[in-house]
Amino acid sequence: MNKFSLKRRNFIKRLSLYYFCLLPFQTNNVNAHQSVKNFFEYTDTDKLFGDLSFSDLDLGNDKNINLKTPDIAENGSIVPIQIESFLDGEQTFYVFSSKNENPLTSIYHFHENMVPFVSTRLKLQESSKLHVFIKFNSNIVHAANDIEVTIGGCGEETIG
């Protein structure tokens, strides 16, 4: 006879007991995800900057951020960008395009032991300024570049 035999009913009882005992110790990741998701639905850049505490900052380019963007993007639906940070510690990148319908394009979070580097492609509605804010150690730094778009990307169709 098996020393560890466990009937299905007892197994379900134990499983539910463990679940309900550990439930209060779970982190609230769902609510954190919902709050970040709400930032992507903003349409007003000034209100979004205010809610993220970016409105009172000096918007000069920080030397610890390397932001590479094309000066002229031939197609707004595929704009390659690279962001590299030379700061220490845990960091969160916030990427904005000032003239998109929804200005917040992406958020990237890097833990302390990760290399803070992003290479991606964005969709830009029209020529605009691309802003990158980096939160680290209770500080916020900023970098921005102007990108000229020759063909629209976010829903604009051009007939050539």
| pLDDT at position 24 | 57
Domain span including residue 109: 44-149
Residue 10 lies in a domain: no
- Tell me if 126 is assigned to some domain: yes
| Residue that has been written with the tokens 């709050």 in this structure | 35
pLDDT score for 62: 84
User: Is residue 81 domain-resident?
Assistant: yes
Fill in the amino acid letter for 114. M
CATH number at residue 87: 2.60.40.2470
φ, ψ (nearest 5 deg) of residue 62? -85, 140
Backbone angles phi, psi at 132, to 5 degrees: -125, 120
Rounded Cα distance between 59 and 15, Å, is: 53
Query: Is 83 part of a structural domain of the chain?
Result: yes
Structural domain count of the chain: 1
Q: Is residue 85 part of a domain?
A: yes
pLDDT of residue 53: 79
In a domain, 27, yes or no: no
**Stated pTM of the model:** 0.71
Q: Within a domain: residue 127?
A: yes
In a domain, 119, yes or no: yes
Question: pLDDT 10s digit of each residue in the chain, 160 long?
Answer: 555 667 777 777 777 766 666 655 554 444 444 456 688 888 888 888 888 878 777 777 889 899 999 999 888 888 999 999 999 889 999 999 888 888 899 999 988 888 899 999 998 888 889 999 998 888 888 999 999 988 765 545 544 4
